[in-house]
Structures are given as C-alpha cells and as structure tokens.
Amino acid sequence: MSGRGPRGERGEQADRILAAARRSFATRGYAATSLRAVALEAGVDPGLVHYYFRTKTGLLEAVMQPPEAFGAAVAAAAEQPLEQRGRAFVQACLRLWEDPASAEILRAVILTAAQEPAALQRLRQLFSELVLAVVSHGLPDAERTLRASLISTQVVGMVMNRYIWQVGDIAALPADTVADLLAPTVQHYLAGSLPAQPGDRPDPG
C-alpha cells in the first residue's frame, strides 16, 4: 500500500486524478479547486498531479476533453430529417446532461469558460462541432451560423436553469416534458423563417 514505485497499470492513477478533478471543478469551480484537494480525493500524492499534468491549467485541459458520447449522440440527431431534427437535438442534449459523467465535464466547461481562456476555447470547439453540425445539413451557408447561435441560446438557457442553478419549473419537470416545451422553438430556429437581418440581401423568392 505504501512505498514509492509504480502502482497498477499505466495511467490508472492519472484516471483517478482526472475523475477527482472533474468532480471538484464541476461542483466547486476551477479557481476554488486546489491541486492538493484533488490529490486527496483521488487518494494520491499532490506531487503526482504535477507529474502527470504539469500545471493546474494542464489538468483543466485534460479534464475538458469532451466525452465520446458527444459525437455519437449529436451526430445521430444531426442525421435526422430536417423536420424532426430540432426535437432530436433537444433530446440528445437532455440525455447528455442527465448522465452524471457527461454533466460533470460540461458543467466544468460552462462555468470555467467565463474565466479561463482554455475553457472558452473548448466551449467554442464544442459549439462548432456539435451545434453547427446539427445545422449544417441541408441549410444555406448564409444562415447556418445564425441558426446555430439561436439554437445555442435556447439550449444553454435551459441548461443553466435546469442543471446549473436548478431554478424554476424547468428544473423540476421530467426531461420528456422539457423536450416537448422547447422542441418547437429549436425547430423554428433550425428551419423556420427568421426576421430579415441588416446585412441580408432582399429575399429573391
């Protein structure tokens, strides 16, 4: 049990550290998390954190690798026909956040993005890879980014109220009901008609 050398398989301790860091970043926030506390929760010497991740931001970046569930869940939604894709995306997001493991990572990213450039960059990456993917099939280039941004507002707002703050009816209702409530909006942002933008050409149709 005690003694110095290697213990178990390569990366086993690193995984324990990662898991502990995820929990702490997600609940306490990045700034309020100390490497020592992470090490303690992981049952590991603090120096080991430095050995594997070098610095605190290094640990943050490792923590924020998006889970593979992302690709799968959202790609599936993106493949749906346009008429059902809005609802499919909302449901995919809800499922991701109902899973504690994914939720921890996402929570860390969301809360840290406002303060840490590394987290903000990861957020942008998730945004382009996930939300834009949903929008990109079968829609004109000119509208893609705007529609993706609108969808993002609706989904992010749901997440903040329901999963981060746990405030309001939206936090108490079952996930299916939330999907029923939000799907029409997301579907509208995805494929409905939008007001004219300042930079728009006049509609040729």
Partner DNA sequence: TCCTAATTTCATCACCCGTGGAAACTAGTT
Partner DNA sequence: AACTAGTTTCCACGGGTGATGAAATTAGGA
Interface residues toward its own copies, by CB under 8 A? 27-29, 31-32, 107, 111, 113-115, 120, 123-124, 127, 145-146, 148-150, 152-158, 160-162, 164-165, 167-171, 173-174, 177, 180-182, 184-185, 188, 194-195, 197-198
As a whole number of angstroms, the distance between CA 97 and CA 65 comes to: 16
* 7 near DNA, rule: CB under 7 A: yes
Closest to its own copies by CB, 15 or 180: 180
- Nearest to DNA of 9, 203 (CB atom): 9
| Residue closer to its own copies, measured from CB, 101 or 194 | 194
The site partner of 121 among DNA, its own copies, none (C-beta below 5 to 8 Å per kind) is none
Among its own copies, DNA, none, the one that 114 touches (CB under a kind-dependent 5 to 8 A) is: its own copies
Examine residue 33 and tell whether it contacts DNA (CB under 7 A). Answer: yes
* Closest among 47, 32, 1 to 116, alpha carbons compared: 32
Could you tell me if residue 166 is left (phi over 0), alpha (psi between -120 and 50 degrees) or otherwise beta? left
- Residue 165 as a binder of DNA (CB under 7 A): the answer is no
Out of DNA, its own copies, none, what residue 154 binds, judged by CB under 5 to 8 A for its kind, is its own copies
The residues, any chain, with a CB within 8 Å of residue 18's CB and separated by 6 or more, are 59, 62, 63
Angle between helices 46-53 and 35-42 (to 10 degrees): 110
Question: Which residue lies nearer to its own copies by CB, 1 or 114?
Answer: 114
Comparing CA positions, the residue from 83, 100, 105 lying closest to residue 21 is 105
> How far are the Cα atoms of 116, 130, 164 from residue 78, in angstroms, in the given order?
30, 9, 25
SS3 for 87-112, per residue? Answer: HHHHHHHHHHHHCHHHHHHHHHHHHH
For its own copies, give the closer residue by CB, 11 or 153.
153
Cβ 63 vs Cβ 108: under 8 Å: yes
Q: Cβ of residue 3: shortest distance to its own copies, in angstroms?
A: 36
Binding-residue total with DNA (CB under 7 A): 29
- Nearest distance in Å: CB 34, DNA: 3
